[in-house]
Each structure stands twice: as structure tokens, then as C-alpha cells.
Structure 1
Amino acid sequence: MNKVQLVLCILGVLASVVTAQLGGRNPRFGTCLCVTGSSVNVRDNAGLNSRVIGSINRGQCYKYTGLKLTRDGYSWYTIDYNGRRGWVAGNYLIESAASRCQSGGGRPGCGRVDYRGYRVSDSQVRAKLVQIADLFCNRLWVTSGDRPNGRPGSHHYVGRAADFWIDGQSNNGGAMFDRIRRSGIMNTDYQVIWHGSRTCTGGEHIHIGRYTDGRRTCWVHEGTRPGNRCQYRCM
């Protein structure tokens, strides 16, 4: 074995040790854990037979919430999964800097915006879609954009809006909305709406529309319960 092969071998061993370390020990509560695999299942309890509640991908980071169990040959760890408890196999997690979790867990370039043929004219709205996709480190698919034949004066009508959803967030609109709000990337000049399952707009989605006067962002729940269907009050 030459020196190059020896160095590569040592680095490979060290990398495997770092990855495996988490699977055998219990880190401190609040430790930032980052995902090393693709389409890693998040479950409602420890074990391979537990219900899958979501999917996470390489580069996404979450805070450890202090519970660890060994089951089905894996060490399982609890994470704060968009405001709820989720269990993930430790084989796919490594510790990372606390700042990775404080910034929302994403990293530039890890997400992707799929416009699916919809036009979103406003460059600032398009830039926000990229930021949101990177926040979730996943595919953001646009469900509506410019509507030149829509309601006059609306954000869609003037070309400064987009409706979207994020892969892996089925039935999780509230958690998506809350995570975007907590991230701080939409604090000014926007209207952000979670159109829930009771929406009068045709289906559950997240909407962002850009103002142009620098006002504080208006956060809205619409159609999330019977009492707020077709209601657009800022929180």
C-alpha cells in the first residue's frame, strides 16, 4: 500500500468513526444533528414498523430533543421536526455546529425550485422561492404564479406572487408556515398565507406575495379551521 492509499484509508476510517459515533451515544439535549443521507424517513416512534411522518435529506439539520432508543438494530434519536417530535435512525445523522440549526437547517444550493411551467415575473419573489427551497433543503414546486386574467390588484395579477408546496411535507402546511416564519427570511414586504384544507382557493398551499412599500410582513392563516375560511387577517 503506497502513501496515498494509506492516507485515503485512514481518512475513510475516520469518517466512518465520526458517522458511527452518534449511533452509539447520547448527545446533549439541543445538539444540532444534520442528515447525511437522501430521503431519510422520519417516524412517529422508534422502530422500522413505526409510521413515517416525513422525509429529510442531506444537509438538513434539526435540534436533538433528548430521547434515544435502540430498536430493530438501530439507535433512534428524536428531533424537532417542524414543531413536532420525529424519530430518525442515528446511522443517518451527525453532529454539526449549532449555527446550522439556528439558521433553519438549510444551506445555499441544497434546494430546488420547480416552476412546472408557471411564470413568476418578479425577480425578488423568485429569489425568495430559492431561499425557501434551501431552508427545507428540498424541492419546492410552484402551483401558481402570474395571473394576468385574475383579480385586478391582487399580487398574482400584478406578477408579484407565487403559490407552492415543498416535497416531503404532506399534511404539514402549518409546520411549513411556522418554519418559514421563524427563519426570518420573510420579515418585511410580504404577505405569507397558509391556505389550509378548508381554503376557498381550491387546495392547500403556501402563498407569498410581495408588497413594494417595505411594510412588516403579514402572516395569515386561511381555511385552516371553519372560522377562518376566506378570511385574510394578519396575525
Structure 2
Amino acid sequence: MFKIIKKTVATSALAAAVMTTGIAIAPQAMANGYGYACTVNPKSSVRIRVNAGQNYRVIAGIPNGRGVRILNSKIGTDGGLWYFVQYGKYRGWSHSAYIC
């Protein structure tokens, strides 16, 4: 009986560790990949900023549905996940919620 409980606890701990690690690693998996601008309003665009945070200057906009190259990612000053993207000649930071 003790061995069964011990195995169950070990299995549960491993599953929790994998789930926690998976969440932490998943955003990094998008880095060095491709995505596209996705907004609720099809006529709007996703902002590219000079740094990762809502208070930084906007340098360009990505029209909804247009492809981008994802070069890197980090947590911004607002606590959100931001992607360093390239859209044409522009490179900058866009919030991950708007890159699909």
C-alpha cells in the first residue's frame, strides 16, 4: 500500500512539474518562428513599439492578417509577454496577444 501511495505522489509531482515547465517554456517556443497579426477588428493593425511595454513609442503597424517573423520574446514592463517581430523593414516589440 505504501509503495502505491509513493508512486502516486511521485507521478503527481512529475505531472505538476511538466505542466509548470510547459507553461514557462511555451512562450519561448514561439521565438524564432512565424506568426501573423490578429485583431478583433479586421480593419485595425497591431502596433510595433520600440520596446516591450504599452508606454513605448509606436514605430509601425502590422495590418490584421499580415505575416511577421518572431525573433525573440520577453516579459514587458506591463508584465505581459511581448514578441520582438520583423514586419518588412520594421523591427520592434508587439504584445503576444495580437500575434497568432
Q: TM-score, normalised by structure 1?
A: 0.28
Counterparts of 2:83 and 2:67, CA distance in 1: 13
After superposition, the Cα gap between the structure-2 partners of 1:56 and 1:28, relative to the gap in structure 1 and judged at 3 Å, is closer
Number of the residue aligned with 2:37: 35
Give structure 2 stretches of 5+ with no counterpart: 1-22
Identify which of 58, 79, 88 aligns with 2:85: 79
Q: As a proportion of its length, which structure holds more strand?
A: 2
2:95 and 2:60 mapped to 1: Cα distance? 13
Of 71, 93, 98, the match for 2:99: 93
Residues 30-88 of structure 1, C-alpha deviation per residue, up to 9 Å, x if partnerless? 31111111222110111111110011122111111123223314211101132342100
Give the Cα–Cα distance (whole angstroms) in 2 for the partners of residues 72 and 47 of structure 1: 6
**Residues 1:48 and 2:50 aligned together:** no
Q: Counterparts of 1:202-213 in structure 2 under 5 Å?
A: none
Q: Which has the higher helix share?
A: 2
Q: Kindly report the root-mean-square deviation, in angstroms, between the aligned alpha carbons of the 2 structures.
A: 2.1
Code of the residue aligned with 1:61 in structure 2: it is: G
Shift of 1:29: 4.0
What is the SS of the residue equivalent to 1:76?
A: strand
Would you say the 8 A contact 2:35–2:99 is kept in 1?
yes
**Matches of 1:29 and 1:88, distance apart in 2:** 12
1:93 to 1:48, Cα distance in 2 relative to 1, 3 A: same
CA distance, structure 1, for counterparts of residue 30 and residue 81 of structure 2: 15
TM-superposition CA deviations, 1:169-220 (whole Å, max 9, x none): xxxxxxxxxxxxxxxxxxxxxxxxxxxxxxxxxxxxxxxxxxxxxxxxxxxx
Structure 1: gaps (5+ residues): 1-20, 95-235
Match of 1:198 in 2: none
- What number of residue pairs does the alignment pair up? 72
In 2, the alpha carbon distance for the partners of 1:27 and 1:65 equals 11
Larger Rg: 1
